[in-house]
Amino acid sequence: MAEGFLMEVCVDSVESAVNAERGGAGRLELCTSLLEGGLTPSLGLLHVVKQYVKIPIYVMIRPRGGDFLYSDLEVEVMRKDIELMKSQGADGLVLGALTEDGRVDAELCMELLAAARPLPVTFHRAFDMVHDPAVALETLISLGFERVLTSGCDSSALEGLPLIKRLVDQAKGRIIIMPGGGITERNLQRILEGSGAQEFHCSARSSRDSAMKFRNTCISMGASFSAPEYGLKVADVSKVRTLNAIAKNTL
């Protein structure tokens, strides 16, 4: 406990990974498409990030956006991604799967955890979509997940704070409860003090305009609700530093 809080930053670029480490992050969650909540990153991204950072890299295993009910073919992809990420030096993995009635898919998770061994595994915010969080937490503990990332089944970790505190109390150290979802320098202290959590998860990003001078503004590459084509979001060293400082000063 003496070493204080651990900050995990989710990143989807090498630049963000470098900035997160420089700002004092203790761990990275490596994804692509943070706008979709984070999907499996490319092997190329993992490989290059590993050349530039020393802190542990937990790799997201999530084949698509949307729900966490996976088909047999999607499971095949997840198993192959686990095998490849392990062979390319991932320090841990992040995954999750639910049944159609909103329970943790224990059978599938057991299979994916077996494929992941010996790497530690975090259960991601699929947890926030479960029907009964207290029951789901016991399932994750019995399966052997190292931690669970959660906003307390609410729109943000601040809104979900009462449940996060109950989960920390229920866990009694058997699994790490890591709050995440909308954590900023404005609410971090309240979340840490109010939950009793020892780790937290954030993106610490700021927006940056594209360097493109020529622009075709008629076109968007994705659906109409997609991100602006000429904007980038990158983890910001000063934001990471500020969050780290707040965590250090929180008792």
Q: How far apart are the first and last CA of the chain?
A: 11
pLDDT band at 232 (very low <50, low <70, confident <90, very high): confident
Residues 6+ positions from 221 with CB-CB distance below 8 Å: 229
Residue 2, pLDDT > 60, answer no
Answer whether residue 227 shows pLDDT above 80.
no
Question: What's the whole-number mean pLDDT along residues 95-120?
Answer: 98
Amino acid at 212: M
At 4, the pLDDT band (50, 70, 90 cuts) reads confident
Q: What pLDDT is recorded for position 113? A: 98
pLDDT at 52 over 70: yes
Q: Determine the pLDDT at residue 230.
A: 83
Which of 131-135, 163-167, 196-200, 220-224 bottoms out in mean pLDDT, i.e. has the lowest?
220-224
Cis? peptide before 120, omega within 30° of 0:
no
pLDDT score at 251: 61
Give residue 44's pLDDT: 98
pLDDT for res 217 = 83
User: What's the CATH class of domain 6-250?
Assistant: alpha beta
User: How confident is the prediction for the chain on average, in pLDDT?
Assistant: 95
Cα distance between residue 81 and residue 28, in whole Å: 18
pLDDT tens digits, residue range 174-185?
999 999 999 999
- Map out the domains of the chain as residue ranges: 6-250
Cα gap 116→94, rounded to integer Å:
10
Give the residue, 209 or 8, on which the prediction is more confident: 8
Residues in the chain: 251
Task: Tell the residue number behind the tokens 């700021």, with chain if given.
Answer: 206
